[in-house]
Copies of this chain bind each other. A is one copy, B any other.
Amino acid sequence: MPSSTVENYLKQLYLSQQDEPDKLVAMGKLAGAMGVVPGTATTMVKALADSGLVSYEPRGGVRLTRAGEQLALHVLRRHRLIELFLVKVLGLDWSEVHVEAEELEHAVSDKVLEKIDELLGRPRVDPHGDPIPPAKGRPKIDKTHESLAVCEPGKSYRVARVVDQGPAFLQFVDRCG
């Protein structure tokens, strides 16, 4: 069973990879995102490569293998289902669930997660509009939404997803309705 540290590296790699697919993730970017010094990331990535979870090109960068991606998606699924659960069932504020889920995602078993999924009615997105990966296979990408930047003043829109998930920004959005 992967440690929660390993799970966090894989999850972060998956997210970083979304920015520019087909490109390798730079070690510095990974280290920054994980909040560790570069040397730590190098050590960790070499270990992940030995476990077959990433492919690593020294001085080039790193990328998830198929196995690593599956694991990352599983972590992300737990994270997002838990976020939604905290909002819907326990009534927490959506500005605080990210931090809570960060801890819980490593402690919730598959059995409990399945019950949560069932209780929530097999949802497809979390409270911020991020897609919840399915239990098996890859998520299909949803291109039906537009960036706020291309929206025209005066027109009416429905917000589908909020990318900046810092508590401060979310509370600001809340105050604006």
Residues of A at under 8 Å CB distance from B?
A: 86, 89-92, 96, 100, 103-104, 106-109, 111-112, 115-116, 119
Contact = CB atoms under 8 A, between A and B. Distances in A.
A109 B103 contact: yes
Nearest to A104: B107
Total copies of this chain within the assembly: 2
Given A96-B111, A100-B111, A111-B100, A119 B106 contact: no
Nearest to A99: B109
Given A92-B112, A100-B109, 13 more contacts: A86-B112, A89-B89, A89-B119, A90-B115, A90-B119, A92-B111, A92-B115, A100-B111, A100-B112, A103-B108, A103-B109, A106-B107, A107-B107
The 4 closest A-B pairs by CB, nearest first: A107-B107, A90-B115, A103-B107, A104-B107
Contacts of A86: 112
Nearest to A106: B107
Nearest to A107: B107
Contacts of A104: 104, 107-108, 112
Contacts of A109: 100, 103
